[in-house]
Structure 1
């Protein structure tokens, strides 16, 4: 049987991952690339934990065809997908802000 506690862990860790990813974007935007990268790694770490809980639940379904899914699990999966998307975008934004910062430095050096 699928534990509501396990489902809640997906929501908690995915929520943490999404928040960290969004904060990483803000850090990068303010020029704190190193801090942004650390937050992104922490985001990925939280996402990995959420994904492990999700995998365990999927294995429960695979081993028990009679197991019933519910809206709470669907909600948790939605949180996880949003966190994955936020983390993917955060990496791209951090890379973009880092490149812009490097360009600003080069422009100042050549001025």
Structure 2
């Protein structure tokens, strides 16, 4: 049987992953790309844990097709998908801010 505790693990770790990804974007925006990358890696680590909990729940459904589902699980999956998206965007924003930083350095050197 799938408990609320099982589902809550997805929400907790996905929430952590999303927060870390958003904070990574903020760090990159102010030029702290090294710190941003650390936060992004921590975000990915939390996301991996959330995904493992999700996989465990899906396996329970596969083993027992009559297992009832609920809106709480749907809510947890929504959190996980938001975290995945935030983490993917964070990587792109960090890369972009690194490129902008390099461009600024080149412009200053050539001025």
Q: Distance in 2 between matches of 1:57 and 1:83?
A: 18
After TM superposition, the structure 1 = structure 2 runs for residues 25-44 of structure 1, keeping only pairs within 5 Å, are 25-44=25-44
Is 2:53 aligned against 1:53? yes
Structure 1 unaligned spans of 5+ = none
Number of residue pairs the alignment of both structures matches: 111
Measure how far apart 1:3 and its partner are. Answer: 1.6
* TM, length-normalised to structure 2: 0.99
1:28 is displaced (CA, Å) by: 0.1
Cα displacement string for residues 21-70 of structure 1 (whole angstroms, at most 9, x for unaligned residues): 00000000000000000000000000000000000000000000110110
Structure 2 unaligned runs (5+)? none
Secondary structure (helix, strand or coil) at the match of 2:100 reads: helix
| SS in structure 2 at match of 1:65 | coil
Runs ≥4 residues deviating over 4 A: none
CA distance in 2, matches of 1:68, 1:41: 35
Distance 1:13 1:44 in 2: 10
